[in-house]
Chains A and B, each alone.
Chain A
């Protein structure tokens, strides 16, 4: 044993133990895992939340120096971005101008025309300001930020924004800073508005940029109530010169003194901008996320055969995500700060870690044997995959370690995260996911149990299956058809694509949700970018509490005693500040109060009056940092016009210079443009409110109209999409109750004509065998009576035995029933007797095959269900209730017991009772007769032509007009179907015939002991003279020869394969010159029909074979007790595909040219693609449905259910119709179903046969 193998074993054992542990204590383990996840994620709380908003830092103006590039450790609260010089210094001159006193002769335009006009002189003043001290002459030209061209895309702004020079913006830019243009401009507002972008804008507009204050604060409006115009002149300085700035400040203050100004001037704010995510960066990011989601989708889609697919998929995703979080958390804990963009590398991390292990685990656990305990299943599944999991993990770790040695910091960091993530993912897989899986598997088993129980309860005697006795003849069913629908919950519909899309939209309310999400996002964008609204408010709220916030002074109690006005002009700001103590508190009062304090007292009474005649210019705390009210993209967008990015850089905003302008009415009138007076006179206060309201109404009306339009549009869309009026079906079927409509979940009912089954009555007991060759239909009941029907009309043509023998057969029937009863009683005794352990052992004493009876079921025909699984053929684990009993030699007398049972079931027919002793050849006194159990006949040699009424017919086939019947005594009889006469019989075998195949002139019989006999039917007439009758059957290529009654027919055993299988043969099928047998010994054998030569032994199932399908195209499908379906190539004997589809036995298999249809004990019908073996879809049937299947055409599937047959559309899996065979659906299941070639189906229904025509299919076939 190599080291590798030892290692492998050890790992496997460890995983096994671990699986046991996980499955045993699911709840504590999940709690533990959750706790560890939370603990590992705890360090994440300390990480800053990602965001793109700017960050601020405030320093004092007085001792400001340009920060150095080197980080300095001692500056604790200094952020790390505050290094090096800023991109620019922003110096704003805040101008508040008003025409005072306000004159009633003034027109509205006068509010802003002359104040705006003053900007030009101010600009000139600023531009020409020169500060001269000992060190040299400084002007604005030297200090300001020189800009070059605008970006190419901004040509239309070329006239407005400065190029090739100082970046100095003011409202004057609208008029190219030329007074003449301004004076000759007839409509100022129009000029301002024409540069505004249309529609919704999220970035700063040109108006914001030029005015420097938010639009509604400018007062440039015809309806301004305050009549104060506010704007800024923004200087962008490349370098900082305190002396120049202070002299400029002093100069402006001197020219335009602001008497009541109390703005603080000692703080400069540094604003740092994060990297902006633009469209170009967003698209690759979104793409990677889309790929990630596709990956997760395709991975989790493979989770199958579990209770809750979604739950497990969620658990898988949670596993991966929380392992990532854990890895980040752990890395943070150990001092590594993530520098990578988390959002960017996240998809790659997920992809690297992957969901594969999780899926492999699920698959491995699911594929363990179902009958094991959950704990053991988990443990086995884990240990099966342990080696590959460990190997994969080691490989991945190696690869990542290699990546670590690339020595690229980013890759190293990525690898570090990936390694920790992988390890934590492994931990989570082992603890979290395995436990979740165990819980899921347990739930599934519980559900299975619940589902299985009623199905078994429906059969009082599960083991005898079709041979169970009937207590009473079924009640007559006068009008035996109703059309009802199955419970919709069990249906798995596949609708046309168009409908599915619409239904999907309707079901998920996708449109509404989409609109809702869109609205939320839109509101979010608005709130995020809205400069004046929520954001400022929030910022104010936050800054009130934060000591860092420079607006924090607003929250402090106002020091009204401090002199509000700064000392006069000319003072050096440094000296000014030294005079005033540092926190020169501004007046945080609202406007009115500050006015009351500083302003003229005469204003106070006027406040109550409606229109204030004198516009008040007041300075408040909100003016200190007017730029805060702007969009946070204000500065980045201004700089971006000149291709200067502010991402990851900062700008410094200097304290504003306040300028107050009072203009006289005369000046206002003088600067008036001739067209200004065309504007209406100032409306009164009441009408002042109106425009705003009007806008509101307009918006409301427009919104309403848009809504109505949308509704109409959607309605039209609906009409286009759903052009068919489904409601009309309800009208058409108006006579039915709504509940009876075979409509699906969405109210769609397919147009259906009523199908009425034709009931063929006559049998007195349950129908056992059913055979048809298209024209004729032969059935055999438990009583041994064979009836031949016309498949077209449903007339009974022949009864075998004929009426003369009726009595004896009837008596035989009762005798047989008694036998079953006796056997049920005798069961414990046989158990105690401890007969032979396995099948295939012969009792030498008797010289009689004492095999366990494995197939107490009828012969099988093509297109006919195999009922073995229903009967539970696993006899090895069952009490030997079906032993072919030899009469108990110890002389135990069943008489009393049997007699009682017999009397209970005896019909009150004295004649029958009187006659039975004579009818049975073996019958002596009743107890002995009963002990013979009906079919345990000593092989009494009977002459040719003497029918054997006492043994039951186990298998029957019909070809031409010959019925081949295989009896429990091993006798093969050939009957004439029309005349009802026995043509020949063969008694070469002694073991009961369990299955028959009749092809051309050969009959193959499978016997109970596993042997296979080939018979040849010889007619003493040349074959050429045989008449051929009728259209060729669907399943048999050569048409059946019609044997005329004159021919002498002999049936000879040509070859007997004694040990065809080790265990009883369960299925026998013949087609295309091949005979295929399936057995309990897990193998399928293929024989050639002509020379009975065994061609292949096909191995691949891990359970007994329960169903076989073979057709003319040589495609062979087999299903076994292991739930597997194998497709074989009959020519080569190779396995084409091998799929697991069912939990429990596969009960029936049918193929069409394109797909394979299987049904299983789990009440599931699966449709597989025949060429690829991929499951197309599955149909969940009702609990306890029959397992019989039939294919009428390529696309029409019929299944038998409890007292009904259902038609399915194979293309989409729709239930087309359910035809109820009787009135009461009392659990009388359809066990056999034969599709005739005239598109009719025949199924057994208790003691009746039901012939259902499918009319439209008939038309198509013709």
Chain B
């Protein structure tokens, strides 16, 4: 963690790095990434080759979630850029993708962690998520999430309180429509809280800023976005976890038996 902080500082000195709301979880994310890698190694060592399939599966899911996080970060960042919700130095504006290179990976890692955490918690609580477990629903969830971001960036509200209340209602609606599980709610709240704190810290340290801060240093709708983001990513993670554990490995066992005459 200190290493990363230092890294952030050096970046901020060099080129006034900006950040996006979703990237707020980057510290936790990368710390958890390290933890995850440790856990992965421990797991693979402990279970040995017996469970290599499971580990590979975990890594695959993590990769998918990481990609999703990266793409969402880029896209939603652009949405925020358009409305000058976040301010950055001009150089960043000119070369958006190159200077903020560390944001998408951080978001991706955060997404991977949250997305892996959801099914994990589900299995620990012993209540597998059965509500609307299909890809179409997941897609719908993502679309609504992007829509919430869109609304936060593009709509003109009378005041910030109205905007925040609307977004909070929308986020709760998202959770109720696509999740409806206690663990999902709890984890979403946790994600929102943690990410908001981290964003506050980032802004406090001057790494970037919001145009009209009304909640200490950030916008008050930020927790809602984090919450819905957590729920969305968790939704994806659960779906991935449900699809993956099919035992395809057995299929390849007798693969060579097929070749007649070979």
Contacts and interface: CB of A to CB of B under 8 A. Distances in A.
Given A348-B143, A750-B260, A1193 B254 contact: yes
14 contacts: A291-B139, A295-B140, A301-B136, A348-B144, A351-B140, A406-B169, A411-B155, A750-B260, A1155-B251, A1171-B247, A1209-B258, A1210-B251, A1216-B260, A1256-B260
Contacts of A351: 140, 143-144, 147
A1211 B146 contact: no
Interface of B: 71, 74-76, 78-79, 81-82, 90-91, 94, 96, 134-136, 138-140, 142-144, 146-147, 150-151, 154-158, 162, 165-166, 169, 173, 245-248, 250-262
Contacts of B169: 402, 406
A893 B143 CA distance: 80
A399 B150 contact: no
B65 to A, nearest CB: 16
B76 A284 contact: yes
Nearest to B90: A152
B131 to A, nearest CB: 14
A620 interface: no
Given A283-B78, A1209-B258, A1216-B258, A355 B136 contact: yes
A1256 B146 contact: no
A1035 interface: no
A626 interface: no
Interface residues of A, number: 59
Given A348-B143, A406-B162, A1256 B78 contact: no
Contact of B257 (A151, A284, A294, A1196): A1196
Interface in A1203-1262: 1207, 1209-1211, 1216-1217, 1254-1257, 1260
Interface of A: 151-153, 280-281, 283-284, 287-288, 291-292, 294-295, 298-299, 301-302, 344, 347-348, 351, 354-356, 399, 402, 406-411, 750-753, 755, 1153-1155, 1169, 1171-1172, 1174, 1193-1196, 1207, 1209-1211, 1216-1217, 1254-1257, 1260
Contact of B162 (A288, A354, A407): A407
A751 B261 contact: yes
Nearest to B72: A287
B143 to A, nearest CB: 4
A1194 B257 contact: yes
Contacts of A1154: 247-248, 250-251
A763 B161 CA distance: 91
Closest 8 CB pairs of A and B: A753-B261, A295-B139, A1194-B254, A298-B135, A298-B136, A1154-B250, A299-B136, A1195-B254
Contacts of A407: 158, 162
Contact of A280 (B81, B90, B261, B262): B81
Given A294-B135, A1256-B260, 11 more contacts: A152-B94, A153-B94, A284-B150, A406-B169, A408-B156, A410-B155, A751-B259, A751-B262, A752-B261, A1172-B246, A1195-B251
A1195 B157 contact: no
Contact of A1195 (B144, B258, B261): B258
Contact of A284 (B146, B173, B250): B146
Contacts of A294: 135, 139
Given A284-B150, A299-B136, A408-B155, A1196 B258 contact: yes
Nearest to A1155: B251
B176 to A, nearest CB: 9
B59 to A, nearest CB: 20
Contacts of B257: 1193-1196, 1256-1257, 1260
Given A281-B82, A283-B78, A292-B143, A344 B150 contact: yes
Given A152-B90, A351-B147, A1171-B247, A280 B258 contact: no
Contacts of B250: 1153-1154, 1194
B258 A288 contact: no
A689 to B, nearest CB: 45
Contacts of A153: 94
A751 B246 contact: no
Contacts of A411: 151, 155, 166
A1257 B71 CA distance: 48
A292 B156 CA distance: 25
A340 B260 CA distance: 64
Contacts of B144: 348, 351
Contacts of A1194: 250-251, 253-254, 257
Contacts of A284: 75-76, 78-79, 146, 150
A752 B260 CA distance: 5
Contacts of B157: 408
A152 to B, nearest CB: 5
A295 B246 contact: no
B146 to A, nearest CB: 6
B154 to A, nearest CB: 8
Contacts of A281: 78, 82
A1196 B258 CA distance: 7
A1169 B143 contact: no
A243 B80 CA distance: 46
Contacts of B260: 750-753, 755, 1207, 1216-1217, 1254-1256
B91 A152 contact: yes
Nearest to B147: A348
Contact of A408 (B79, B143, B150, B166): B166
B241 to A, nearest CB: 13
Best-buried of A355, A406, A751, A1153 by chain B (most CB within 10 Å): A406
A1153 B157 CA distance: 60
Contacts of A295: 136, 139-140, 143
Contacts of B162: 406-408
Contacts of A409: 156
A1196 B254 CA distance: 9
A1207 B144 CA distance: 48
Contacts of A301: 136
B78 A280 contact: yes
Contacts of B156: 408-410
Contacts of B82: 280-281
Nearest to B146: A288
A158 B165 CA distance: 48
A284 B142 CA distance: 13
Nearest to B242: A1172
A295 B75 CA distance: 18
Contacts of A1209: 258
Nearest to A152: B90
Contacts of A344: 150, 154
Contacts of A406: 162, 165-166, 169
A153 B96 CA distance: 12
Contacts of B166: 406, 408, 411
A753 B260 CA distance: 6
Contact of A298 (B94, B134, B255): B134
A300 B136 CA distance: 9
A399 B261 CA distance: 65
Contacts of B252: 1211
A356 to B, nearest CB: 8
A352 to B, nearest CB: 8
A603 to B, nearest CB: 53
Contact of A288 (B134, B143, B173, B254): B143
Nearest to A1217: B260
Contacts of B248: 1154
A48 B7 CA distance: 52
Contact of A283 (B75, B147, B151): B75
Contact of B140 (A280, A354, A753, A1216): A354
Contact of A1174 (B246, B251, B261): B246
Nearest to A754: B261
A1169 B246 contact: yes
B75 A1211 contact: no
A1210 B91 CA distance: 58
Contacts of A347: 143
Contacts of B147: 288, 348, 351
